[in-house]
């Protein structure tokens, strides 16, 4: 089959690789009909998340049709011909983490748990196409994928919704939703979201869905801010205004009640000298992150507020404003999304028309064009917000 693979730092390549086969009895093989390029793929491709190997099939947002099931998957769970969306974290459904609905912390799905444990203290779940730290599972930017624990993970789509309407249930829609949900939003809340990329957009929509009074979008790309504004959110361009001052102005000096960091480790703003400091520390590998967005969110949030982190971080960050966090009674909440928890309720929201996931798609291309897709997404060319690939 054809698959998009990591071919060294900042390079992806569509290659011929063997077709996936059933390796465990609860596996299924899915013929992929739609897959997407995610912001966190960029961190993998540019080498900030360690343990990538030449030839790794990448991609963790995908859906398609079941073409084969292992002997351990009961016919009541999944059958050949089913149309499914596959969540990016691989969960076993049986461990203590899965029992607590902390699917992205599954204790059994990562065969490389020893590596993850060294990095994170405790292991994390396996993730499709997301480095060897998270299991070394081949990803979904391909014609076919092997889906482990297929009896607990994929969501069956029985209605006639289009791929574009349901594909993002795989990752970015639940991720954005979880970011808003972790904020415990009250009707009077003003919610500020750092990053108006795809996850940020869905965090904004979800905050609104959960009843926020006002949602503020912080980014520097005018087209992303326009996209947010068209959906009813208030844009703040950090290249044009001082973010903290503007947020205070918008909230009567209180600061946003809830702040969502949908940027993660490669933030591009902040003052010049802090940026230089982080760049240097990152270059000498004594810090993995450039956490401007997180620092700014903590410093801007109102006292007693919540800072919810859904942007991806990989290792160590520096100059974390612990004083602000502790002295001003902030709550910090975070996590890789426990997608399986949110798929069904969000599918119902889509069916009811509460959320329109298709509003962020700007580019649809063939799998063969993946390299170009990465390029325009990474460099924000051609007003690119989200790329969907058709294998």
Partner 1 sequence: MSRTASLAEGRARQDEVRRRGRRLGWASFALGVVQLAAPGAVRRLSGVDDSARSRAVVPVVGARELVHAAGLLTSRRKGAWAWTRVVGDAMDLTALGVALAHRGGDRRRRLVGVTGAVAGITALDLLTAVQATREARTSSVPAARGARTGGSVELTATTTIRKPASEVYAFWRDLENLPTFMAHLEQVRTTGDRTSHWFASAPFGKDVEWDAEITDETPGEKIVWRSTGEATVPNAGTVRFTPAPDGVSTEVFVVLVYEIPGGAVGKAVAKYFGEEPHQQLDDDLRRFKQVMETGEVVRSDGAPWGKRARKEFPQRPAQPLSDSELAKGADA
* Contacts to partner 1 by CB under 8 A: 3, 5, 17-21, 23-26, 53-57, 72, 92, 94-96, 99, 107-115, 123, 126, 129, 132, 135-139, 146, 148-149, 271-274, 276-277, 280-281, 283-286, 318-319, 321
CB of 6 to partner 1, least distance (A): 8
CB of 319 to partner 1, least distance (A): 5
Comparing CB distances to Zn ion, the nearer of 339 and 347 is 339
Comparing CB distances to Zn ion, the nearer of 123 and 270 is 123
Given candidates 98, 124, 155, 297, which one binds Zn ion under the rule CB under 5 A? 98
Given candidates 92, 124, 127, 183, which one binds Zn ion under the rule CB under 5 A? 92
Which of Zn ion, partner 1, none lies near 171, with the C-beta cut-off 5 to 8 A by kind? Zn ion
Comparing CB distances to partner 1, the nearer of 284 and 326 is 284
Which of partner 1, Zn ion, none lies near 64, with the C-beta cut-off 5 to 8 A by kind? none
CB of 147 to partner 1, least distance (A): 12
Q: How many angstroms separate the CA atoms of 289 and 281, rounded? A: 9
Cβ-proximal residues to 40 (8 Å cutoff; 6+ apart), any chain: 49, 60, 130, 264, 312
CB of 229 to Zn ion, least distance (A): 24
The bridge status of strand 89-90 relative to strand 83-86 is unpaired
By CB under 5 A, is residue 95 in contact with Zn ion? Answer: yes
Q: How many angstroms separate the CA atoms of 83 and 271, rounded? A: 48
**What residue spans of 81-197 are helical by DSSP H?**
96-99, 113-120, 163-166, 172-181
Q: How many angstroms separate the CA atoms of 306 and 263, rounded? A: 16
Report the candidate in 1, 36, 14, 64 with the shortest Cα–Cα distance to residue 364.
36
Which of partner 1, Zn ion, none lies near 326, with the C-beta cut-off 5 to 8 A by kind? none
Q: How many angstroms separate the CA atoms of 297 and 238, rounded? A: 13
Question: Are the CB atoms for 228 and 221 separated by under 8 Å?
Answer: no
CB of 101 to partner 1, least distance (A): 14
Q: How many angstroms separate the CA atoms of 2 and 368, rounded? A: 8
CB of 28 to partner 1, least distance (A): 14
C-alpha 223: how far from chain center: 20
End-to-end CA distance of the chain: 10
Comparing CB distances to Zn ion, the nearer of 176 and 255 is 176
CB of 389 to partner 1, least distance (A): 17
Comparing CB distances to Zn ion, the nearer of 82 and 171 is 171
Which of Zn ion, partner 1, none lies near 38, with the C-beta cut-off 5 to 8 A by kind? Zn ion
**What residue spans of the chain are helical by DSSP H?**
39-45, 96-99, 113-120, 163-166, 172-181, 198-209, 222-230, 243-250, 272-283, 292-300, 322-327, 339-352, 370-378
């Amino acid at each position: 089959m054809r698959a998009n693979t990591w071919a060294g730092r900042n390079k992806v390549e569509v290659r011929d690789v063997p077709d996936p086969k059933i390796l465990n009895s609860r596996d299924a093989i899915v013929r992929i009909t739609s897959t997407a390029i995610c912001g966190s793929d960029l961190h993998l491709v540019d080498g900030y998340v360690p343990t990538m190997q030449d030839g790794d099939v990448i991609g963790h947002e995908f859906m398609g049709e079941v073409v084969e099931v292992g002997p351990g998957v009961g016919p009541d769970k999944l059958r050949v011909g089913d149309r499914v969306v596959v969540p990016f974290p691989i969960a076993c459904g049986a461990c203590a983490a899965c029992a607590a609905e902390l699917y992205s912390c599954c204790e059994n799905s990562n065969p490389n748990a020893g590596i993850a444990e060294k990095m994170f203290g405790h292991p994390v779940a396996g993730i499709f196409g997301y480095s060897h730290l998270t299991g070394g599972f081949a990803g979904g930017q391909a014609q076919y994928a092997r889906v482990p624990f297929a009896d607990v993970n994929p969501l069956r789509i029985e209605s006639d919704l289009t791929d574009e309407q349901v594909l993002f249930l795989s990752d970015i829609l639940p991720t954005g939703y979880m970011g808003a949900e972790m904020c415990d939003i009250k009707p009077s809340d003003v919610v500020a979201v750092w990053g108006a990329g795809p996850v940020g957009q869905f965090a904004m929509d979800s905050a609104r869905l959960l009843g926020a009074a006002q949602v503020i979008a912080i980014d520097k790309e005018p087209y992303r801010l326009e996209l947010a504004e068209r959906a009813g959110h208030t844009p703040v361009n950090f290249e044009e205004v001082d973010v903290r001052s503007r947020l205070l102005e918008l909230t009567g000096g209180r600061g946003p009640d809830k702040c969502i960091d949908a940027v993660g480790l490669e933030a591009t703003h902040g003052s010049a000298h802090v940026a230089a400091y982080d760049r240097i520390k990152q270059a000498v590998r004594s810090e993995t992150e450039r956490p401007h967005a997180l620092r700014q969110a903590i410093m801007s949030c109102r006292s007693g507020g919540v800072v919810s982190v859904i942007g991806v971080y990989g290792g160590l960050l520096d100059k974390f404003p612990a004083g602000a966090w502790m002295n001003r009674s902030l709550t910090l909440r975070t996590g890789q999304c426990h997608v399986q928890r949110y798929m069904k309720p969000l599918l119902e929201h889509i069916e009811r028309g509460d959320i329109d996931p298709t509003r962020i798609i700007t580019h649809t291309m063939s799998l063969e064009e993946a390299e170009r897709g990465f390029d325009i997404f990474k460099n924000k060319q051609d007003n690119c917000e989200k790329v969907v690939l058709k294998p």
